[in-house]
Amino acid sequence: MLFSAILTGLVLGGTYALVAMGLTLQYGVARIMNLAYGDIIIAASFGAFVLFTALGINPLLGMLIVIPAGFALSWLIYAVMLQPLARRSRDRGRLEGDSILATFGLLFVIQGVALVIFGSGFMSYSYLAVPVDILGTTIAANRLLAFGLAITFGLGLWLVLTRTRFGTVIRAVAANPASAPLVGIDVDSVARFAFAIGGALAAAGGVVVSMYLTFSATMGVIFTMKALIVVIMGGVGNLMGALAAGLILGLVETLVASFIDPGLTLAATYLIFLAVLVVRPQGLFGKAAR
């Protein structure tokens, strides 16, 4: 029972870590606090759902369509909606405020579209729902696949950011957007690209979610919230922190759901958030305040 809960928790935590990495990229590099992030995730879940149920495309292949679509959509959102805001705001606080409001509006647009097309009911489909035996505990194969995908994407992103020239550029902008232009970096286009990559990760997360969870059009808020909590716990811009924090959150949630009450998982999440804010607002793995 405990071992099975831990296994389930790790799978869930891997998904949280994956989506949180996208959000930390959007906030850390593009300086956009994207409140519509969870709705991109849900939109991708719906995408995978439609591809699988209507066209019979399995989610793994579906990713080849959904992830580029998430990238393109986010690229477009940034170029049309957020870049003008970034240009007109002189300071970071102003951009933060404006982007929060603009993406808050966007949340209702995306959610509204999803409601019109799919209604407010819960959705799921059955893909690789075969039990697999791990050390005496059975777990659905789709969950294992979800965990594997989360780890693969997370590691891939980490390698790109730490081992490539492009990754260095992104990290430079994250560390100091004001002086990046001095070394010939076009901050505008790096921010747009980072925001789009964040969207691609959200889309990947959405497909992963759709493989083993039921989801509905109004669930975006919860995913945004959890991703935000993971980002803050892990320290803004810290990918390894997001991974660790995501796994912790997934474990705690699953343990609370299996041993206390499933109705209290969000409360547990919030309790962790509260504790982090009170004790270490810079994040468990973040640097001390400057």
Partner 1 sequence: MTLLSLKSVTKRFGGLTAVNGLSFDLLEGETVGLLGPNGSGKTTALNMISGYLPVSDGTIALAGDAISTLRPERIAHRGVARTFQLVRALPSLSVGENVLAALAFRKEPLWGKAAETRIADLLADVGLAGRAGQPADSLTYIDLKRMELARALASDPRLLLLDEWLAGLNPTELRAGIDLITSLRQRGITILLVEHVMDAVRALCSRCIVMNAGSKIADGPTAEVLADAEVIRAYLGDDHA
Partner 2 sequence: MKFVLALVALVALAFVPSFAGPYPLGLGIGVLGYGVLATAWAMFSGPTRYISLATVAFFGLGAYTVAVLSETLPYPVVLFVAAVIGLVVALIVGLATLRLAGIYFVIFTFGLTELVRQLVTYYEVNVTRTLGRYVFLPLGPEHIYWQLLALLAATLGMAYWVRQSRIGLALRVIGDDPVVASHLGIRITRTKLTLFSISCVIMTLAGAIQAPRWTYIEPSIVFNPTTSFLVVIMALLGGPNRLFGPLLGAVPLFLLFEWLSANFPNHYSIILGLLFIAIVFVLPNGVLAAGESLWTRLSRREART
Specify whether the CB–CB gap between 43 and 206 falls below 8 A.
yes
Under DSSP, is residue 137 helix (H, G, I), strand (E, B) or coil?
A: strand
Specify the residue, 54 or 288, whose C-beta has the smaller distance to partner 1: 288
Nearest approach in angstroms of CB 266 to partner 2 is 5
> From its phi and psi, is residue 67 left (phi > 0), alpha (psi between -120 and 50) or beta?
alpha
Classify each residue of 119-148 as buried b or exposed e, where b means 16 or more C-beta atoms within 10 Å of its C-beta. eeeebebebbeeeeeeeebebbebbbbbbe
For the record, the structure tokens of 106 come out as 């966007």
Per the structure block, which two tokens stand in for 112?
């509204």
Angle at 214 between CA 11 and CA 224, to 5 degrees: 70
CB of 289 to partner 1, least distance (A): 10
Which residues would be at the binding site for partner 1 (CB under 8 A)? 287-288, 290
288 binds, among partner 1, partner 2, none (CB under 5 to 8 A by kind): partner 1
In terms of CB distance, is 56 or 93 closer to partner 2?
A: 93
Query: Residue 263 CB: number of other CB atoms within 10 A?
Result: 9
Specify the pairing of strand 131-134 against strand 137-140. antiparallel
Q: How far is the CB of 20 from partner 1 (least distance, A)?
A: 25
CB 15 within 8 A of CB 86: no
Q: State the minimum distance, in angstroms, from the CB of residue 63 to partner 2.
A: 27
240 binds, among partner 1, partner 2, none (CB under 5 to 8 A by kind): none
Alpha carbon 64 to its chain centroid, in Å, reads 18
The interface partner of residue 97, options being partner 2, partner 1, none and the CB cut-off 5 to 8 Å by kind, is partner 2
Smallest separation, CB 94 to partner 2 (Å): 9
**Which C-beta is closer to partner 2: that of 29 or that of 139?**
29
Q: Which does 264 bind (CB under 5 to 8 A by kind): partner 2, partner 1, none?
A: partner 2
255 binds, among partner 1, partner 2, none (CB under 5 to 8 A by kind): none
> Which C-beta is closer to partner 2: that of 30 or that of 35?
35
**Residue 35 partner contact from partner 2, partner 1, none using kind-dependent CB cut-offs of 5 to 8 Å:** partner 2
Q: Could you give phi then psi for residue 123, rounded to 5 degrees?
A: -120, 150
Contact at 8 Å (CB) between 218 and 53?
A: no
Shortest distance (Å) from residue 186 CB to partner 2: 24
Binding site for partner 2 (CB under 8 A): 33, 35, 81, 84-85, 93, 96-98, 100-102, 104-109, 111-113, 115-116, 221-222, 224-225, 228-229, 232, 261, 263-264, 266-267, 270, 273-274, 277-278, 281
